[in-house]
Chain A
Amino acid sequence: MKDLIQTLRNRFRRAAGRSFEADMEEEIRFHLDMRASRNRDSGMNAEVAGKQARRSFGHMDGVREACRDERRFEFIREVLKDARYGWRALMRMPALTAAAALALGVGVGLMSVELSFVRGVAANMPIRDPERVREIRIAAKEGFQLSSMSLQDYQTWRATQRSFSDTVAFSYGSTIHVSGHGAYALSFPASGLTAGAAGTFGTRPLLGRMFTTEDERPTAPLAILLSSEIWAREFGSAADVVGRRLRARTSLRSRGKSGPAYEEATVIGVTPPEFATEKKTDFWVNMSGEQRVTVMARLRNGVRPETADAELATQGAGFAVPPEVKVRGLASGPVNSGAGSRLKILLSTLFGVVAGVMALACVNVGTLLTMRALERGRELALRMALGATRGRLVRQMLVESALLAGLAAAIGIPLAWAGVSLLDRQLALDESKPVWIRLQVDGLAVAGMFATSLIAALAAGLLPALRAARIDANAALKNGAWGSSLRLGRLARGMVALQSAAACALLLITGLLLHALLGVSRLDAPYDPKGVLTAYVSAQSYGESPSAVRAMQQALERARAVPGVEAAALCARTPVHPFTTRVSPRNADTGASRNGRIAADQIVSPEFFAVMQAPILQGRGFTSADREGGEPVAVVSEGMARLFWPDRSAVGRQFRGSERDPWLTVVGVCADLPTDNSRAESGAAFYRPIAQEQTMGAFLLLRTGVEPHSLIRPLRNAVRAFDPDLPVEKVFTVEEMYDRRVATPRALGALAAAFALSALALATVGIYGVTGFSVRKRMLEFGVRVALGASPRDMAKLTLGRGALQLAASLSAGSLIGFLASRPMLKSMEGLTGQVPPAAYAIILAVVAVSTFSALWLPAREAAKVDPAETLRAE
Chain B
Amino acid sequence: MAKLEVLQGTLDLLVLSTLRKEKMHGFAIAERILRLSGETIAVEEGSLYPALYRLERQGLIQAEWGQSENNRRAKYYSLTRAGRKRLEEECSGWRRMSLAVTSVVEGA
Task: Point out residues on A near B: beta carbons under 8 Å.
Answer: 2, 6, 23-24, 26-28, 30-31, 33-35, 37, 56-60, 62-63, 66-67, 69-71, 74, 383-388, 473-474, 477-478
Assuming A387-B9, A387-B90, is B57 touching A63 (CB within 8 A)? no
Interchain CB contact under 8 A, A34 and B27: yes
Q: Which residues of B25-75 have CB atoms within 8 Å of chain A's CB atoms?
A: 25-27, 30, 44-47, 49-50, 53-54, 57, 59, 68, 70, 72-75
Nearest chain A CB to B61's CB is how many angstroms away? Answer: 13
Chain A residues with CB below 8 A from B27, complex form? 30-31, 34-35
- B49 partner residues in chain A, CB cutoff 8 A: 24, 27-28, 31, 63, 66-67
Distance in angstroms between the alpha carbons of A63 and B50 in the assembled complex = 7
Do B46 and A478 touch (CB < 8 A)? no
Q: B26 to A27, Cβ gap below 8 A?
A: yes
Q: Is the CB of B104 within 8 A of A477?
A: yes
CB atoms of B97 and A474 under 8 A apart:
yes
Main SS at interface, chain A: helix
- Contact residue among B9, B57, B59 (Cβ-Cβ distance under 8 Å from A74): B57
Complex contact B10–A477 (CB within 8 A): no
Determine whether B7 belongs to the interface, using a CB cutoff of 8 Å to chain A.
yes
Residues of B within 8 Å of A30, CB to CB, are 25-27, 68, 72-75
Whole-angstrom CA separation of A366 from B90 in the bound complex: 32
- Those of B7-30 within 8 Å (CB) of chain A: 7-13, 25-27, 30
Cβ contact within 8 Å between B46 and A60: yes
B residues near A387, Cβ cutoff 8 Å: 7-13, 90
Q: Jot down 9 A-B pairs with beta carbons below 8 A, ordered by A.
A: A23-B75, A28-B46, A31-B30, A67-B50, A69-B50, A70-B53, A385-B93, A386-B9, A473-B96
| Shortest CB distance B55–A (Å) | 9
Q: A31 near B45 (CB under 8 angstroms)?
A: yes
A383 to B93, CA, bound (A): 12
Q: Which range contains the number of B residues in contact with the other chain?
A: 35 or more
- Report chain A residues within 8 Å CB of B99: 474
Query: Among A33, A62, A385, which residue has the most Cβ atoms of chain B within 10 A?
Result: A385
Residues 87-108 of chain B: 1 if any A CB is under 8 Å from the residue's CB, otherwise 0? Answer: 0001001101101110110000
**10 tightest A-B CB contacts, nearest first:** A387-B9, A58-B44, A386-B9, A63-B46, A66-B50, A58-B46, A70-B53, A474-B100, A385-B97, A34-B27
A59 to B74, CA, bound (A): 21
Closest Cβ of chain B to A786, distance in Å, is 22
Known: A31-B26, A388-B9. A71 touches B46 (CB 8 A): no
Contacts A2-B59, A384-B93 known; 9 new A-B pairs at CB < 8 A: A57-B44, A59-B46, A69-B50, A385-B93, A385-B97, A387-B8, A388-B9, A473-B93, A478-B100
- CB-based contact B45/A56 at 8 Å: yes
Also in contact, A71 and B104, with CB within 8 A (given A30-B72, A59-B46, A383-B9):
no
Docked-complex contact B46 and A473, CB < 8 angstroms: no
Would B45 and A58 count as touching, CB distance under 8 A?
A: yes
A162 to B70, CA, bound (A): 101
Q: What residues on B are CB-neighbors of A60 within 8 Å?
A: 46
Residue on A with the closest CB to B13?
Answer: A387
> A386 and B50: CB pair below 8 A?
no
Residues from chain B with a CB closer than 8 A to the CB of A67 are 49-50, 53
CA separation between A34 and B29, bound complex, in Å? 12
Q: Which of B47, B68, B100 contacts A473 (CB 8 A)?
A: B100
CB neighbours of B90 from chain A (8 A): 387
Indicate the member of A28, A30, A56, A388 with the most B CB atoms within 10 Å. A30
Contacts of B8 in A (CB 8 A): 386-387
**Chain A residues with CB below 8 A from B47, complex form:** 58, 63, 66
Q: Which residues of B contact A478 (CB under 8 A)?
A: 100, 103-104
Find chain A residues with CB under 8 A from B100 CB.
473-474, 477-478
Scoring B49, B90, B97 by chain A CB atoms within 10 A of each residue's CB, the highest score goes to B49
Q: Which chain B residue lies CB-closest to A475?
A: B100
A552 CB to closest chain B CB, in angstroms? 91
Which residue on chain A has the smallest CB distance to residue B29? A31
Q: Which residue of B lies closest to A27 (CB)?
A: B75
In Å, the complex CA distance between A387 and B11 comes to 9
Chain B residues lying within 8 Å of A24, measured Cβ to Cβ, are: 49
Given A387-B8, A387-B13, CB of A57 within 8 Å of CB of B45: yes
- In the complex, which residues of chain B have a beta carbon less than 8 angstroms from the beta carbon of A384? 93
A746 CA to B72 CA in the complex, in Å? 85
Q: What chain B residues lie within 8 Å of A28 (beta carbons)?
A: 46, 49
Query: A74 to B97, alpha carbons, bound, how many Å?
Result: 29
In the assembly, what is the distance between CA of A477 and CA of B108, in Å? 12
* Chain B min CB distance to A20 (Å): 10
B16 to chain A, nearest CB (A): 10
Q: What's the minimum C-beta distance from B2 to chain A, rounded to whole angstroms?
A: 18
Residues of B within 8 Å of A66, CB to CB, are: 47, 49-50
A289 CB to nearest B CB, Å: 87
When distances are taken between beta carbons in the complex, the residues of chain A under 8 Å from B44 are 56-59
- Tell me how far the C-beta of A691 lies from the nearest C-beta in chain B, rounded to whole angstroms: 97
**In the assembled complex, how far is the CB of residue B64 from the closest CB belonging to chain A, in whole angstroms?**
11
Contacts of B9 in A (CB 8 A): 383, 385-388
CA distance A602 to B16 in the complex (A): 94
Q: How far is the CA of A508 from the CA of B97 in the complex (A)?
A: 53
Complex: A798 Cα to B101 Cα, angstroms: 34
Q: How distant is the Cα of A478 from the Cα of B97 in the complex, in angstroms?
A: 11
Of all chain B residues, which has the CB nearest A388?
B9
Q: Which residue of A lies closest to B25 (CB)?
A: A30
Alpha-carbon separation in the docked complex, A383 to B57 (Å): 21
